[in-house]
C-alpha cells in the first residue's frame, strides 16, 4: 500500500516538474539568444531584438515564458495581427519592413519560447 502511494506521488511530482515554466533569462542571457534559422536571426537582430531583448522597454523579454504565456493564450492569429497592426507601445510590423507574415510567426514563436513545436 505504501509503495503504491509513493509511486503515485513520484509520478505526480514528475508531471508537475514537466510543466514547470523555465526561469526567465537574465538580461545578459537575453542578449545572446537568437533564432536558429539564419534568415530569422538576421531579421531579429535588426528589429525585434532592440526592444524584446532589453528589460524596461515594456516589451515581453525573449524566452521569458512568464511574460509570454498569457499573451500566447490569445492564439497565434491574434499575436500575428498585433505584430502587423501594432499593439499599444509595440510598433506596427515591429519595425521590420522586410518581414513576411511567416517570418513574424517564426519570430513570435522564437521569442515566446515555442520554436520547438510541442
Question: Which residues contribute to the site for ligand HEC (CB under 6 A)?
Answer: 47-48, 50-52, 57-60, 71, 74, 79, 82-83, 87-91, 94-96, 99, 104, 107-108
Query: Which CB atom, from 26 or from 85, has the smaller least distance to ligand HEC?
Result: 85
Residues 6+ apart with CB under 8 A from 37: 106
Query: Which CB atom, from 95 or from 102, has the smaller least distance to ligand HEC?
Result: 95
Cell 528589429 locates to 47
**Smallest distance, Å, CB 94 to ligand HEC?**
3
Structure-block grid coordinates of residue 71 = 499573451
Query: Which CB atom, from 24 or from 107, has the smaller least distance to ligand HEC?
Result: 107
Residue nearest to ligand HEC (CB): 94
Structure-block grid coordinates of residue 18 = 514537466
Cα–Cα distances in angstroms (integers) from residue 22 to residues 57, 60, 65, in the given order: 22, 15, 7
Amino acid at each position: 500500500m505504501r509503495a503504491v502511494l509513493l509511486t503515485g506521488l513520484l509520478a505526480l511530482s514528475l508531471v508537475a516538474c514537466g510543466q514547470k515554466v523555465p526561469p526567465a533569462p537574465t538580461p545578459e542571457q537575453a542578449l545572446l539568444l537568437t533564432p536558429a534559422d539564419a534568415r530569422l536571426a538576421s531579421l531579429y537582430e535588426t528589429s525585434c531584438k532592440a526592444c524584446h531583448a532589453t528589460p524596461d522597454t515594456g516589451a515581453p523579454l525573449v524566452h521569458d515564458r512568464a511574460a509570454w504565456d498569457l499573451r500566447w493564450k490569445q492564439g497565434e492569429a491574434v499575436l500575428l495581427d498585433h505584430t502587423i497592426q501594432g499593439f499599444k507601445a509595440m510598433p506596427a510590423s515591429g519595425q521590420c519592413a522586410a518581414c513576411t507574415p511567416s517570418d513574424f510567426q517564426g519570430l513570435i514563436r522564437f521569442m515566446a519560447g515555442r520554436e520547438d513545436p510541442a
